[in-house]
Structure 1
Amino acid sequence: MNDQLCIASPNLAAYSETFIKDQIAQLQPGTLIYEGNYPIHSKEEDWQLPFPFNIHVVRGITKKLAPGLFHRIYSRSLADYLKRRKVTTLLANYGPVGVSVADACVMANVKLVVHFHGFDAYEYNTLAKFREAYRHMFTCAHRIVAVSTEMKEELIKLGAAENKIAFIPYGINLERFTTTDPSVNGPLLINIGRFTPKKAPDLLIRAFKIVHDALPDARLKMIGGGELLEDSKALATSLGLSDVITFAGVQSSEEIIRALHQSRIYVQHSLRPPSGDSEGTPVSILEACACGLPVVSTRHAGIRDAVLEQVSGLLVDEGDVEGMAKDIITLLKDPALCKQMGAAARARISENYHFPVQAAKLAALLEV
């Protein structure tokens, strides 16, 4: 247990944020606060805002009508709590959370490390709301974590000092995500993640239509939920693919590993949608690589760090449906190449994304 470490996160239960759960499990913080961009609950249940701001309705009204007043009350209360808990370092997950806790960290003489993950560095509405606040937060922060080299460049553009930014990608537990031999698996493609615009499930389905027309034995399994799930099912039906695409819903980590071990290729068409949202580094791609699967995806965000083109996978430009289909067909027709690229994918993860190594880098950065 790192008694002097506090981790702040918007929530603790999102199934798609396994990286935060792994982070908490590895770092073992003595203090954990959560719930929204202004975390107001402690896991230890030994802190709440002073009355009447501990009442949800009052908090909401105050944040809306007098945000400056709420921020000052919040910062003073959190600073007192951090002092009482003898916290020396606070790790804030996501930029907006870093903004909320920055002044409290200054008051409590606590080192602030802000971990960016994706949308918080890219999405236009988020940047419009927090751009100025980010600049203040960057000056308060001891260090800033980026999960891809592209994200590091974005944070510099937003005003972060380059010497404060550490590139620490997510790590994968190689003891859990063991290897398969894709060359002996059937022609099954697998995709894992939320059905959101930045993952463009519609473009993946359209690419698969081309694949299935060329190779009728091909199948696609899509694991996850999200706001575009029903639209994706309707698209599959309209394209005559409802019998060859399985929408498996949200699944446990164990079920995901079994599915990866049954597949030949991992596929994902990530892109930057009109909202400006972006991946950081998709954990699902790292997990697939760890299992020894070749990847067909896009030249997007941290995917370009994780997947070596023509070595551990094939990448196309964002929006290139025909190019993606062509690459998938190439691999489906060549099981030996799948095996070769899958072995290179596993090696890439072992060398650059092994969880204990990345966790140790983060712990060293936090000085805990």
Structure 2
Amino acid sequence: HRVRLWGTDQAIAVSRSTAEQMRAKWGARDVELVYNGVDIPEVHAAVEQQRVPAEGGPRILSLSRLSPEKGIDVLLDAFAQLRVDYPQAHLEIAGSGDLASELQAQAQRLNLGDSVTFSGFVNPIEAMGRSDMIVQLSVWENCSYTLLDAKAAGLKTVATAVGGNPEILGADELVDRQSATLTQDVLQAMRAQLQKGEPEPFTWISNEQMAAQTVDIYARVLRGGRS
């Protein structure tokens, strides 16, 4: 990465956190910020078309690879405790990965039964349509499209305060990934979000704005300009 960056005229980062990492780790000289764009009305409408009315308790969704850095084991532990307050709660773990069998075994040890579904590869719009909240406990995210789409769709969210996540979510939606009480922190954050009313309207740059910002950077570099 360091060699590649020193051979470029301009670098683009999708979050402030990513830009800081590029400078600190690899000595990037010229880095400009262009967030990943999301077309909020289109995403919201698409998810609403797939909306499945809730018939029981809250429906939690994990939409990521089944790998250690995604923290799905922590989510399972927190969800098992959440069911004390919400006995009809349901957790959908979408995605595939090396930890699939291990996570399924964990769900069995926690006696979660059919309150957890391992759905494998899914259409994310359809999955969000049958969910009320997305929980994402990654070790790192640059600028998560999962969180952007969830916010655009009006879902409640809980995520780790890593990478670009704090640039998308509010403080009450974030948990410290390094906390010694991470499972309890996730549990409390989920409880707090479920007790809140409708989420505040979400604002973010559109795909058109993202493209325009990127084109502007390209044009300046081609003219020999700098950020």
What TM-score do the two structures reach when normalised by structure 2?
Answer: 0.84
Do structure 1's residue 220 and structure 2's residue 82 form an aligned pair? no
Do structure 1's residue 195 and structure 2's residue 195 form an aligned pair? no
Query: Alignment length, in residue pairs?
Result: 210
1:207 alignment partner, one of 64, 67, 78: 78
Q: Which has the higher contact order (CA 8 A, sep 6+)?
A: 2
1:298 alignment partner, one of 154, 160, 173: 160
Tell me which residue corresponds to 1:240. Answer: 111
Are the structure 2 counterparts of residues 144 and 242 from structure 1 closer, same or farther at C-alpha, using a change threshold of 3 Å?
farther
For residue 285 of structure 1, report the CA deviation from its aligned partner: 1.0
Do structure 1's residue 263 and structure 2's residue 122 form an aligned pair? no
- Aligned-residue sequence identity (percent) comes to 24
Contact 2:58 2:86 in 1 (8 A): no
Contact 1:174 1:355 in 2 (8 A): no
For residue 216 of structure 1, report the CA deviation from its aligned partner: 0.8
Contact 1:174 1:290 in 2 (8 A): yes
For residue 147 of structure 1, report the CA deviation from its aligned partner: 1.7
For residue 269 of structure 1, report the CA deviation from its aligned partner: 1.1
Do structure 1's residue 354 and structure 2's residue 206 form an aligned pair? yes
Which secondary structure does the structure 2 equivalent of 1:178 belong to?
helix
2:31 alignment partner, one of 165, 175, 199: 165
For residue 353 of structure 1, report the CA deviation from its aligned partner: 3.5
For residue 300 of structure 1, report the CA deviation from its aligned partner: 0.9
For residue 214 of structure 1, report the CA deviation from its aligned partner: 2.6
Are the structure 2 counterparts of residues 354 and 242 from structure 1 closer, same or farther at C-alpha, using a change threshold of 3 Å?
farther
Q: Residue deviations 1:139-160, cap 9 Å, x none?
A: 2201112122111111111211
Larger-gyration structure (1/2): 1
Correspondences of 1:83-98 after superposition (within 5 Å): 95=1
Structure 2 CA distance for aligned equivalents of residues 241 and 360 of structure 1: 48
Structure 2 CA distance for aligned equivalents of residues 196 and 358 of structure 1: 30
Do structure 1's residue 280 and structure 2's residue 142 form an aligned pair? yes
For residue 173 of structure 1, report the CA deviation from its aligned partner: 3.2
Which secondary structure does the structure 2 equivalent of 1:151 belong to?
helix
The answer for unaligned runs of 5 or more in structure 2 is 223-227
Tell me which residue corresponds to 2:10. Answer: 143
Correspondences of 1:8-157 after superposition (within 5 Å): 95=1, 134=2, 136-157=3-24
Displacement over 6 Å in runs of 4+? none
Are the structure 2 counterparts of residues 302 and 207 from structure 1 closer, same or farther at C-alpha, using a change threshold of 3 Å?
same
Which secondary structure does the structure 1 equivalent of 2:113 belong to?
coil
Q: Residue deviations 1:203-226, cap 9 Å, x none?
A: 111111111123211111121111
Q: Residue deviations 1:204-257, cap 9 Å, x none?
A: 1111111112321111112111122221111111111131111111123xxx21
For residue 175 of structure 1, report the CA deviation from its aligned partner: 4.6
What amino acid does structure 2 have at the position aligned with 1:357? Q
The answer for unaligned runs of 5 or more in structure 1 is 1-94, 96-133, 272-277
Contact 2:157 2:193 in 1 (8 A): no
Structure 1 CA distance for aligned equivalents of residues 41 and 163 of structure 2: 26
What amino acid does structure 2 have at the position aligned with 1:221? E
What TM-score do the two structures reach when normalised by structure 1?
Answer: 0.53
Structure 1 CA distance for aligned equivalents of residues 153 and 145 of structure 2: 12
Contact 1:294 1:338 in 2 (8 A): no
Q: Residue deviations 1:110-169, cap 9 Å, x none?
A: xxxxxxxxxxxxxxxxxxxxxxxx1x32222011121221111111112111xx101112
The two structures, once aligned, show a CA RMSD in angstroms of 2.2
Which secondary structure does the structure 1 equivalent of 2:112 belong to?
coil
What amino acid does structure 1 have at the position aligned with 2:86? L
Structure 2 CA distance for aligned equivalents of residues 294 and 248 of structure 1: 20
For residue 359 of structure 1, report the CA deviation from its aligned partner: 2.1
